[in-house]
Amino acid sequence: MSEAPLHNEINVRSGSYLIALTVGTCWYCGAATSLLALALPPGHETLAMDAGSEGEGLAQEVWDAALCSALLFYVGYLPDAVQRRLQELAPLYRIARSAATQGSYWANHCERCGSLLDDHNLFCEPEGAFLPTSHARAAAIQLLGIDEPLEAAAAGYACDPEFFESVRGT
C-alpha cells in the first residue's frame, strides 16, 4: 500500500453507499469505542483488468457490476465530500500510518487512548466489530444509507458480509 494513495488508484465506485456504525472494545486500553466502516450496496462497481484483445498485449481497465453488498477496509483514498461526512460522524476515523501495512489508510482510533484499531482485527477476525458471528452481534451494527456517489481505493473488500441483510433490514 503506498504512502499517499492517489485518485487514479480508485478500484470501487457506487452511486450510493452505507456507513456502518457500531461500538467495539479497544484492544489496547479495553475501553468501549465507536467504530465506522463503509459498505456498498449491490450494483456497485469494481475495477478489473482485462487482458485486452488478442495480440494487443495491453491490459485495459474494466468496471464490473457487483451483485453482492460489500464492506470496504484498508481504504486508502476517499473523495473530499465523503471524508467530510465521515469526519462529522466519527472524528476518530481518519487517515493514519500503519506499521503493519507499511502505508496509510482510513482507520478507526480509540476514543479513550487514541490508538489505531487495525482493520484486520475489525474486519477479518471472527467476532471483530464488522465480522459478527451471531445475529445479536450483527444487530449492534447500524447502517446509514447515503444517496451520494462514492469512489474509493480499497485494499480490503468483503463480499456479502455475514448477517449483512439482517442488519440492513433494521
pLDDT per residue over 75-86, tens digit each?
Answer: 999 999 999 999
pLDDT digits (tens, 9 = 90+) for 121-163: 999 999 899 999 888 888 999 999 999 999 999 999 999 887 6
pLDDT of residue 164: 65
Which residue has better confidence, 167 or 28?
A: 28
Which residue has better confidence, 61 or 46?
A: 46
For residues 54 and 71, give the distance between their C-alpha atoms in angstroms, rounded to a whole number: 35
pLDDT of residue 57: 59
pTM value surpassing 0.75: yes
Closest CA to 85 of 22, 145, 154, 153: 145
For the chain, the domains span 9-168
Write out the three cell numbers for 69.
453488498
Give percent above pLDDT 90 in the chain. 71
